[in-house]
A and B are shown apart, each in its own frame.
Chain A
Amino acid sequence: MSWADLLPPFILGSSLLPGLVIFFLPESRRTLRTALNLASACLKLVAVAVLMAVVATGGQPRWEWSLAPGFDLALQADALSLLFVTLSAGLWLVTTVYAIAYLEGAPQRSRFFGFFSLCVSATVGIALSADLLTFLVFYEILTITTYPLVVHRGTRRSLAAGGTYLVYTLSGGVLLFVGTAWLTALAGPVDFASGGATVDTLIHEHPGALRAIFALLVAGLAVKAAIVPVHGWLPVAMIAPAPVSALLHAVAVVKAGAFGILRVVYDVYGVQAATDLGVLTWLAGFATITILFGSLRALVQDDLKRRLAYSTVSQLSYITLGAALATPLALTGAVVHLVHQGLMKITLFFCAGNLSETLGVRRVSEMAGVGRRMPWTMRAFAVAALGMIGTPPIAGFVSKWYLGAGALSSGDGWALAVLVASGLLNAAYFLPILKTAWFEPARKAWPVSSGRLETSWMLLLPPLVTAALSLLVGVCAGVDASPLAWAGRIAREVFGP
């Protein structure tokens, strides 16, 4: 075992161990807690960079640990996992800065940051999983560690929301568990690296069982990916503090579901087997319904975070749709949207948090004239919202372009129509927000800012950084190191050059 093989567990541990320490810190040790948080987030980012360098030079780090007879925990880094792990590590750092400022003076911060770190560790574990069982392990841990964050306020309403969250995610977890166990009983351990070779050998013998297993796995994953009709928890869970919502909607929970669907379709079943079994048509159907349903629901929400939540429901299924279309271009679009949607959505939630934290504004109807009071926050918001609609050259445009081209290349013109319709609906629920914020006069005097900036710099910097990044990855999509180039590489690995 070379030192590089220890990188995946090191990346996992870089947030896990500090997280465990943070639990036991007294509330009053603010400086130490902050230092631990930021140091571990930076360390993780550095380790991810090293891992990326190792993989770029052709290394395939892999680490295994026996949990019980015949079942191992296996971590490894491939192109897709690196993309997701980079996204998580990067956005974790930004969100940590934001969360420290957002929770200033709030009770139970050691508990919060402890679970926050565990949550990120679980996400990183999901990204680095080398097989289906390891994926299941971290997927379930993510469910559990997110709950205390969702209910952090400890009010009756947030606890009720947390209950809803658990009912959905734990039921999904049971489905995923049974599906994984069934597939393992049929085929033995399912390694992602095999690219569907295990399933291919069974396809003639057990087509019915394979379809049923696919349904179980994807149903379990669909809960977190918020695919209709199991999306109900997501709009409810927006009761969580803003940094949690940001992380939930951008990287941690919903992305775990979408990432899992990509893994199941491409690395467990393989494109050929999935197409032959006819399961992708169903997947595309559900994704389409979700895209349109989410957008339509978003139109009628006045609560800003709820509108953003329904927007997540819709935007997330772009990834599923791209995966289900099964063409190189559509897969490129799906994978790159994993990153792009994360950057844009986290910006929007940061901004929503700033509005509610600084001005107490939580509804779209209260946002009149807010652009003058908080210009930088609203500029970041505008960039991200326009990106969501698909305005060039922001990130969202790139994803949609590739998804649309992918739809045409496979002859699925209807999917392009869905994307266009969804783009129009996006415009219909985002543009009024921008209009209200920038062009309507304020109805009352805003609370005065205490410093030179419109709000604390630690609240302002994160959305500006992520908004700039969403612009940057769009403008520089053609660069060799861009997420798009990376996504293209993943698609080539799957479909061949």
Chain B
Amino acid sequence: MDGPVTASVGWLVAAPLAGSVATFLLRGRRGASEAVLLLTALAAALATNGLVARIMGSGPYTVEIGSWGAPAGIEWAVDDLSAAFLAVALPVWIAATIVAHGLLHSPRSPRDARVFRKEPGPTARTFWPLWLLLWGGVNALFLSADLFNLYVALELAGLAGVALVATAGVLPALQAALRYFFANVAGSISFLTGVALVYHRYQTLDLQLLRSAAESDASTTVALALLGAGLLLKAALFPMHAWLPRAHAAAPAPVSAILSALVVKAPVYLVLRLWLDVFHVALPPSVLTFVGALGAIGIVWGSARALRVERLKSLIAYSTVAQVGLLFTAFPIVHAAGSRDARWGLVFLAVGHAVAKASMFLAAGGLARAHGHDRLDQMTGFGAREPLCTYAFGLGGMSLLGVPGTIGFSGKWLLATSGLEVWAVPWVVAVSASALLTAAYVWRVLAIAIRSAPEPAGTRPLARRIAWSAFALAVLTVALGLGSGPFVEPLP
């Protein structure tokens, strides 16, 4: 019998989905919607807290829903990997929700409140239901214990994401949303075919059962390739990244933050889970070399583009392409080392990117609101005008770079030491040297921020909660860098 704490994990999915329905029925009534959001966040926080306490106390566990156990029913499974992602996702969601609220409800133009109503952009009525739908979908992804549930969660998160990109309401956003939609569908078809093949071969979709049944044979290899291809497309690994920069740049800033931080991270998490955990025995190592090489190219390509684009949000979006590449260059290290340290290195890198990238996008959203645009050449000297957003962007950038003290450094250090122990030199060099490319585009922005220049016309003050939320996430990269030791030590 599950205790109340254990069962509460279901609230991570149920609360946002119920909230989604509630906000839809409320039709954008502000006070009531705020109450729903608050309740959702509270439920998610309590559930996450219970989950972390349980996993640290007694290790991995599963929860059956409606007493339908494996192989047919719905199950939630929690282990150290999903716990780490869920624990970090919570503050990202809360900060992004506060910023979304700030951007939706603070006047866009202090002078004429009527003008901003005509400005394109999301309205509370469409935004919150989709937002909470995405929240529930992403949480379900990290909790699902069988392949079919995973597919459903992927679809849910993908479609909510597409719709949220479209809420920006301008033509480029609609075009980007359409491309994102097609990429998503292609990825889903590939993934679903893979799921079907797995079912055909093993007669179950439960990950626990598959782990013990997995064998190395032709149909498993094909199934893994199809599952992987779908996930890599959704993760935007080079050269399947073309949909990402436009979608993430055109979406409203809090949506970009969630997409870059969590929605592309979920497929990476699933590749890690399926390839290196469940089907570990069936995976040819050459696949990882190939994926790692694509990742390395992605680092160079994404960084080079980030150095040239004209808009801040595009720059951050291309940075995501580069950072996803970095995560995949770490896969061969994790595989070759096969150690706990290497695996935590990759997890640190992934969750570090989630927090850092979210803070950077939220800061960019604040800066874009303050300036009325995000064209870098017309933002010179923004550091003096919006110091908090600038520190948030800078600190997030430092974590991407792997500056010591941030979670990014912890990840790179663990990967480099365990990689060198097994002599995986090219991958260690890629992981270490990527910092220089990252530095190049981060400092491109910081140099613009520091440059002294007169204030451009039309800048407006920013709601304080926007800048503070972005900054709080940036501080979290340092808190995780300095304080994750005691949380990780007791885990397997």
Q: Which residues of B contact A138 (CB under 8 A)?
A: 404
Decide yes or no whether A153 CB sits under 8 A from chain B: yes
**Known contacts A69-B341, A144-B403; A170 and B439 CB within 8 A of each other:** yes
Q: Does residue A57 face the partner (Cβ distance < 8 Å to B)?
A: no
**Known contacts A154-B452, A170-B435, A174-B432; is A68 also within 8 Å of B344 by CB?**
yes
Q: Is the CB of B447 within 8 A of A163?
A: yes
CA distance A159 to B429 in the complex (A): 29
Max chain A C-beta neighbours (<10 A), residue from B404, B421, B450, B485: B404
Shortest Cβ gap from A240 to chain B (Å) = 13
Cβ-based interface call for A300 (8 A): no
Complex CA gap A177/B488 in Å reads: 23
Q: Tell whether B451 is near chain A: CB-to-CB under 8 Å.
A: yes
A155 touches B410 (CB 8 A): no
Among candidates A67, A72, A137, A166, residue contacting B443 with C-beta atoms closer than 8 Å: A166
A185, B421: Cβ atoms closer than 8 Å: yes
Q: Which residue of B lies closest to A148 (CB)?
A: B450
- CA–CA, A482 to B482, complex, Å? 38
The residue from B344, B384, B416, B485 contacting A177, defined by CB atoms under 8 A apart: B416
For the complex, give the distance between the alpha carbons of A72 and B404 in Å: 12
With known contacts A141-B404, A141-B405, A68–B486 Cβ distance under 8 A: no
Interface residue A376 (Cβ < 8 Å from any Cβ of B): no
What sequence of 0s and 1s flags, for each residue 412-451 of chain B, a beta carbon within 8 Å of any chain A beta carbon? 1110111111000000110011011001000100010011
**Beta-carbon contact of B413 and A153 below 8 Å:** no
Task: List chain A residues, Cβ under 8 A from B403.
Answer: 140-141, 144
Q: Are A185 and B420 in contact (CB under 8 A)?
A: yes
On chain A, the residues within 8 Å of B485 by CB distance are: 65-69, 72
Within 8 Å of chain A (Cβ to Cβ): is B112? Answer: no
Smallest CB gap from B487: residue in A: A68
Q: Are A182 and B420 in touch, CB under 8 angstroms? A: yes
B436 close to A171 (CB less than 8 A): yes
B481 at the interface (CB under 8 A from A): yes
Looking at chain A, what size class is its interface with the partner chain? 35 or more
Residues of B100-118 at the interface with A, using a CB-CB cut-off of 8 Å, are: none
A144-B398, A155-B452, A159-B447 given as contacts; is B484 within 8 A of A67 (CB)? yes
When each residue 283-322 of chain B gets 1 if its CB lies under 8 Å from chain A and 0 otherwise, what string results?
A: 0000000000000000000000000000000000000000
Report the minimal beta-carbon distance from B395 to chain A, rounded to whole angstroms: 10
Chain A residues whose C-beta falls within 8 Å of the C-beta of B464 in the assembled complex: none
A141 partner residues in chain B, CB cutoff 8 A = 403-405
> Across the interface, do A170 and B436 meet the contact criterion of CB distance under 8 Å?
yes
A156 and B420 form a contact (CB under 8 A): no
Chain A residues closer than 8 Å to B432, beta-carbon distance? 174, 177-178, 181
B52–chain A nearest beta-carbon distance, Å: 17
Determine if A83 is an interface residue (Cβ-Cβ < 8 Å).
no
A107 touches B (CB below 8 Å) = yes
With most chain B CB atoms within 10 A of its CB, the pick from A72, A166, A181 is A181
Contacting residues, chain B, for A171 (C-beta < 8 A): 436
Residues of chain A lying within 8 A (CB to CB) of residue B384: 107-108
CB of A136 closer than 8 Å to a CB of B: yes
- Asked if A70 is at the interface of the complex by the 8 Å CB criterion, the answer is yes
Distance from B453 Cβ to chain A, minimum over Cβ atoms (Å): 8
A195 in the interface, Cβ–Cβ < 8 Å?
Answer: no
Q: Which residues of B, 243-263, contact A by the 8 Å Cβ criterion? A: none
Chain B proximity mask over A183-203: 1 for CB below 8 Å, otherwise 0 = 011100000000000000000
| Cα distance, A185 to B384, chains bound together (Å) | 44
- Interface residue from B413, B421, B489 paired with A66 (Cβ < 8 Å): B489
Please indicate the chain B residues that have their CB under 8 angstroms from the CB of A174 in the complex. 432-433, 435-436
Closest to B429 in A: A178
Task: Assess whether A111 is interfacial by the CB under 8 Å rule.
Answer: yes
B348 at the A interface (CB under 8 A):
yes
Q: Name the interface size band of chain B.
A: 35 or more
Give the shortest distance, in Å, between B436 (CB) and chain A (any CB): 6
Q: Per-residue CB proximity of A131-149 to B under 8 Å, as 1/0?
A: 0010011101100100010
**Cα–Cα distance between A155 and B453 once the two chains are bound (Å):** 9
Q: Smallest CB–CB gap between A64 and chain B, Å?
A: 10
Residues of the A chain whose Cβ atoms lie less than 8 Å from the Cβ of B404: 136-138, 140-141
Cβ of B340 < 8 Å from any Cβ of A? yes
Residue of A148, A155, A181 near B417 (CB, 8 A) is A181
Q: Is the CB of A184 within 8 A of B435?
A: no
Q: Report the Cα distance A72→B485, complex, angstroms.
A: 9
Task: Give 1 or 0 for each of A411-425: 1 = CB within 8 Å of chain B CB.
Answer: 000000000000000
CB neighbours (8 Å) of B338 from chain A are: none
* CB of A151 within 8 Å of the partner chain: yes
Rounded to whole Å, the gap between the CB of A154 and the closest CB of chain B is 4
Residues from chain A with Cβ under 8 Å of B435 in the complex = 170, 173-174
B368 to chain A, nearest CB (A): 22
| Min C-beta distance of B162 to chain A, whole Å | 36
B387 is an interface residue with CB less than 8 A from chain A: yes
CB distance from B364 to the nearest CB of A (A): 20
- The residues in B between 344 and 384 inclusive whose CB is less than 8 angstroms from any CB of A are 344, 348, 381, 384
Q: Report whether A159 and B398 are in contact in the complex, using a CB–CB cutoff of 8 Å.
A: no
List residues of chain A with CB within 8 A of the CB of B348: 68
Instruction: Provide the bound-state CA to CA distance between A88 and B486, in Å.
Output: 32
Bound: A298/B294 CA distance, A = 48
Interface flag for A353 (CB, 8 Å) = no
- Give A113 to B267 CA distance when docked, in angstroms: 44
CA distance A51 to B447 in the complex (A): 40
Q: Which residue of chain A is the closest to B482 with respect to CB atoms?
A: A67
A122 to B428, CA, bound (A): 26
Instruction: List B contacts of A71 (CB < 8 A).
Output: 410, 413-414
In the complex, per-residue mask of B375-401: 1 if CB is within 8 Å of any chain A CB, else 0: 000000100100100010000001000
Contacts of B484 in A (CB 8 A): 67-68
- The residue in chain B whose Cβ has the minimal distance to the Cβ of A70 is B341
Given contacts A69-B489, A185-B421, contact A111 B387 (CB under 8 A): yes
Q: Does A181 contact B447, Cβ atoms closer than 8 Å?
A: no
Specify which chain B residues have a CB less than 8 angstroms from the CB of A181 in the assembled complex. Answer: 413, 416-417, 420, 428, 432
- For the complex formed, measure the closest distance between the CB of B475 and the CB atoms of chain A, giving whole angstroms: 10
Chain A residues with CB under 8 A of B450: 148, 151, 154, 159
Question: Does A369 reach chain B (CB closer than 8 Å)?
Answer: no
CB distance from B268 to the nearest CB of A (A): 20
A163 touches B416 (CB 8 A): no
Q: Is the C-beta of A162 less than 8 angstroms from some C-beta in chain B?
A: yes
Q: Are A67 and B481 in contact (CB under 8 A)?
A: yes
- Chain B residues with CB below 8 A from A156, complex form: 451
Q: Which of chain A's residues has its CB closest to B443's CB?
A: A166
A69 touching B344, Cβ below 8 Å: yes
From B398, B405, B439, B488, A137 is in contact (CB under 8 Å) with: B405
What mask results when residues 459 to 492 of chain B are scored 1 for a CB within 8 Å of chain A, else 0? 0000000000000000000000110111011000
Nearest neighbor of A182 in chain B, beta-carbon distance: B420
- The docked-state distance in angstroms from the alpha carbon of A185 to that of B485 is 20
Fill in one digit per residue for A4-15: 1 if any B CB lies within 8 Å of its CB, else 0.
Answer: 000000000000
Among residues of B, the one whose C-beta sits closest to the C-beta of A171 is B436
Residues of chain B within 8 A of A144, CB atoms compared: 398, 403
B→A interface (CB under 8 Å): 340-341, 344, 348, 381, 384, 387, 391, 398, 403-405, 409-410, 412-414, 416-421, 428-429, 432-433, 435-436, 439, 443, 447, 450-452, 481-482, 484-486, 488-489
Interface contacts beyond A108-B384, A151-B450, A171-B436: sample of 12 additional A-B pairs, CB < 8 Å, sorted by A:
A67-B410, A67-B485, A68-B410, A71-B410, A153-B452, A154-B450, A163-B443, A166-B443, A173-B435, A177-B412, A181-B428, A185-B418
Give A residues with C-beta under 8 Å from B.
23, 65-72, 107-108, 111, 133, 136-138, 140-141, 144, 148, 151, 153-156, 159, 162-163, 166, 170-171, 173-174, 177-178, 181-182, 184-186
> What are 20 pairs between A and B in contact, CB < 8 Å?
A65-B482, A66-B486, A67-B482, A68-B344, A68-B414, A68-B485, A72-B485, A108-B384, A136-B404, A138-B404, A140-B409, A141-B403, A151-B450, A153-B452, A163-B447, A174-B433, A174-B436, A178-B428, A185-B418, A185-B421
Query: Nearest 6 pairs between A and B by C-beta?
Result: A66-B485, A154-B452, A137-B404, A181-B416, A185-B420, A68-B410
